[in-house]
Amino acid sequence: MAISGTKDTTCFVCGPDNPLGLRVPFVPDGDAGSTAVYVARKEHGGWNGILHGGVTFSLMDEAFGWCLYFQDIPSVTARIETRFHRPIPIGTRLHVRAWVVGQRKRLFDAKAEVRVGDADGMLLAESEAVLCRVMPAPVSELELAGAGR
């Protein structure tokens, strides 16, 4: 996901131009949600044929961001609490979904879940998050920040 007005396509989770990333395309889900499908790959495994928990977490974090991005609201994650219910074997088709449940000024409350197969599949992991609306810097300032490295 890119901040509105930028052309960054190398995000670890959704970037189509990141050869090491997950390359997961998200689509809108209702008025305030996002959804995606991802098949757990061995390159993203933890141990013993199980998807790394950090990848599961990242899928939900990305889904949160897309909820607001689809509404043209640039945001960052302020807090996430995640519960892992079951290990996810490599090769499992996952349905990732997130949705906004409330708003308090610049803060948005959201929930996410990862299920086997589709929206009605077994619940594998879930998260609750608070996202904060941000005002992105002009593109030229973003580009300059990276040039100083």
Residue pair 78/131 in contact (Cβ under 8 Å)? The answer is yes
The whole-model pTM stands at: 0.86
Query: pLDDT truncated to tens, each residue of the chain (149 aa)?
Result: 444 445 679 999 999 999 999 999 999 999 899 999 999 999 999 999 999 999 999 999 999 999 999 999 999 999 999 999 999 999 999 999 999 999 999 999 999 999 999 999 999 999 999 999 998 666 555 555 555 54
* Predicted local distance difference test score (pLDDT) of residue 143: 57
CA end-to-end span of the chain = 22
Homologous superfamily assigned to 27-147? Hotdog Thioesterase (3.10.129.10)
Which segments within the chain are labelled E, that is strand?
Answer: 27-28, 33-39, 75-84, 93-104, 107-116, 123-133
pLDDT for 31: 86
Break the chain into its structural domains and give their ranges. Answer: 27-147
What whole-number distance in Å separates Cα of residue 89 and Cα of residue 67?
A: 27
* DSSP assigned state of 41: P
Place of tokens 């141990």: 47
b/e code 72-96 from CB counts within 10 Å (16+ = b): ebbbebeebebeeeeebebebebbb
DSSP-derived secondary structure for 14-25: T-TT-TTS--PP
